[in-house]
Structure 1
Amino acid sequence: MRAADVLDVVATTGMIADGVRRVGGDAVTVRALMGPGVDPHGYRQTRSDIVAMTRADLTLWHGLFLEAQMERFFEELGGQRRVVAVAEALDKSRLLEHADYAGRYDPHVWMAPDIWTDVVAEIARALTEARPDMAEEFAANAAAYREELAALSTYAGEAVAMVPEETRVLVTAHDAFSYFGRAYGFEVIGIQGISTNSEAGLNRISELVDVLVDRKIGAVFVETSVSDRNMRALIEGAAARGHEVVIGGSLYSDAMGQEGTYEGTYIGMIDHNVTTIARALGADVSPGGMTGRLSSGS
């Protein structure tokens, strides 16, 4: 394919960019604005980001107030260029309402593969609208990718089913795992709220220490894109009351792993999270994950 025929796409998150690569194949080039370890809740566009998006054939962002600091920019850009908020197309009946803001929803839909597959469908629609001549190729690629996502969802269900019911409590840095919890029967407790811009005060830490001690929860999880300061305070607070809590692992919440690694793909990201959670909470699953490709299993 000639370079002039390749669709130039900019995506905000790594998860969206990975979907573009899988659906678009050789017909697209894609740049993700937010790399590993980057928190999208507080991210602001840089000068180079603005240049890339104003030159791109298509810009894909998540929506649902995930990129809260960039929404006005996308509204303005949409008047000049092709811009699509891919998660906004989801049926609202599938979304979890925001606990603090009426009319807003939890944006972390990628935590449930069966919901993310509908976002992939919207990515395919946006690519097809930009390049209708590639419609058949995009449709075939999207169908193949959705089969992989279905297999991922099946693996996740089987892995977490081995976690004893009494230990299905997921304590994380911020409330990014509610869709995971709903899909797989976990109680999810985040120190911070849905957005990492919310603050966790001393009262919140004290409340959660009580939860850990009273319910004898022995493992909590840090996140690659969120500071572990509050989690360390939680562990120290429990220790001061004679209850040992360990870090069960580091989870990918708002960003994927390093580019070029298995964990740097959407499927690898979720495989890592599911496997890490299941193993830390008592399930006998392989450290290599769904296909043996996780770095912890090598």
Structure 2
Amino acid sequence: MRRLLGTTVAITIAMTLTACAGGDDGDDRPHIVVTTNILGDVVASTVGDAAQVTTLMRPNADPHSFEISAREAAMMRDADLVVSNGLGLEEGLQRHLDQAAEAGVETYVAGEQIDVLDYADGESAGTPDPHFWTDPARMRDVVDGLEAATKDIEGIDDRTVEQAAAAYRTELEKLDQEMTGSFASIPEQNRSLVTNHHVFGYLAERFGFRVVGAVIPGGTTLAAPSAADLRDLTEAIEQAGVPTIFAESSQPDRLIQVLADEAGVDVAVSELFTESLTEKGEGADTYLSMMRANTERITSGLSPGPTE
């Protein structure tokens, strides 16, 4: 799934150069720079045509480890607003975020706008979980805060933002209703999730799922499981009787396939889009399409078959 097409990269670089040029293209709208591509889509949908929005993270990248160029770092320091996820997600980018804040750039940290959950177990137990976008209700909180934050940007068209934000909130509410209805069809005893690493805590809390475990024992994809971790998770899977375990599209699924083999039971492996949007046409090029695709796959993977 991790396919970075040359033409797309070239277009992204061209857009970055234009933004750094300080409006040489005649676009004098305020400039908002966003770290992750999930937030980039949400920010663009929230502000509409009121601002230029540049997203740093490429499609199919890993938010824990992606890096930026010196030119992109300079662009952050020149932005009218920098939007980040926060809660420790952008591990490879934090120093640039700190430098932008020290330079006096206005910042908006989405993770500071929501009711934060802590990881329940694993190496990250007790620390904030940054994967709040799996709950569309919390994303509405992010949109509310972002709309308020843009009012402090000089030259922003408040009316344009208000209209775009209201329209996008309606889309988020519709998504929320669709997810609620779809997950309601899964019997309560089947609502157990196993993934590559801990990413669905917010979805589980909101929609009544249990997170049985994760192949990677922590909140970051930079960690690795031990043999003991795999044995413990295998036992948990057997006890829970889950019919499907889920692999993330941003990572190879070798580990989770090994886990399926180790479990010694008939467990299907289904791919989800979790930490990154995809290229256009790959199934999850917007936040809304990503969440709808995941909802359908989780519902299909955990619903009982015709003979159950």
TM-score for the superposition, normalised by structure 1: 0.85
Contact 1:86 1:123 in 2 (8 A): no
Query: What are the superposed Cα offsets for residues 112-140 of structure 1, whole Å, 9 maximum, x if unpaired?
Result: 00001111122222322214651122112
Contact 1:174 1:195 in 2 (8 A): yes
Query: What are the superposed Cα offsets for residues 86-137 of structure 1, whole Å, 9 maximum, x if unpaired?
Result: 324325xx21124456874101110000001111122222322214651122
Instruction: Answer yes or no: is 1:232 the counterpart of 2:257.
Output: yes
Contact 1:222 1:231 in 2 (8 A): yes
Amino acid at match of 2:268: V
Match of 2:118 among 86, 97, 106: 97
Match of 2:91 among 68, 77, 90: 68
| Secondary structure, aligned partner of 2:278 | coil
Contact 1:6 1:27 in 2 (8 A): yes
| Secondary structure, aligned partner of 1:273 | helix
> Take 1:171 and 1:154, find their aligned partners in 2: how far apart are those partners?
24
- Judged with a 3 Å threshold, the aligned counterparts in structure 2 of structure 1 residues 133 and 171 are, in CA distance, closer, same or farther, namely closer
Contact 1:8 1:29 in 2 (8 A): yes
Amino acid at match of 2:44: R
Instruction: Answer yes or no: is 1:245 the counterpart of 2:267.
Output: yes
Q: Which residue does the alignment assign to 2:284?
A: 263
Amino acid at match of 1:198: A
- Judged with a 3 Å threshold, the aligned counterparts in structure 2 of structure 1 residues 58 and 3 are, in CA distance, closer, same or farther, namely farther
Match of 1:219 among 228, 244, 257: 244
Match of 2:152 among 126, 129, 136: 129
Q: Which residue does the alignment assign to 1:202?
A: 227
| Secondary structure, aligned partner of 1:200 | coil
Instruction: Answer yes or no: is 1:154 the counterpart of 2:177.
Output: yes
| Secondary structure, aligned partner of 2:163 | helix
Shift of 1:200: 1.1
Aligned CA-pair RMSD: 2.2
Q: Which residue does the alignment assign to 2:6?
A: none
> Take 2:106 and 2:90, find their aligned partners in 1: how far apart are those partners?
14
Q: Which residue does the alignment assign to 2:53?
A: 30
- Judged with a 3 Å threshold, the aligned counterparts in structure 2 of structure 1 residues 262 and 31 are, in CA distance, closer, same or farther, namely farther
Amino acid at match of 2:208: G
Instruction: Answer yes or no: is 1:278 the counterpart of 2:302.
Output: no
Contact 2:77 2:99 in 1 (8 A): no
Shift of 1:261: 6.5
> Take 1:136 and 1:211, find their aligned partners in 2: how far apart are those partners?
52
Greater mean deviation of Cα atoms: 146-155 or 133-142? 133-142
Greater mean deviation of Cα atoms: 95-104 or 269-278? 95-104
| Secondary structure, aligned partner of 1:232 | helix
Contact 1:38 1:225 in 2 (8 A): yes
Shift of 1:186: 0.6
Match of 2:79 among 43, 48, 56: 56
> Take 1:206 and 1:85, find their aligned partners in 2: how far apart are those partners?
41
Q: Percent identity?
A: 29
Query: What are the superposed Cα offsets for residues 193-218 of structure 1, whole Å, 9 maximum, x if unpaired?
Result: 11112221111111111222233222
Contact 2:192 2:240 in 1 (8 A): no
Contact 2:113 2:141 in 1 (8 A): yes
| Secondary structure, aligned partner of 1:129 | coil
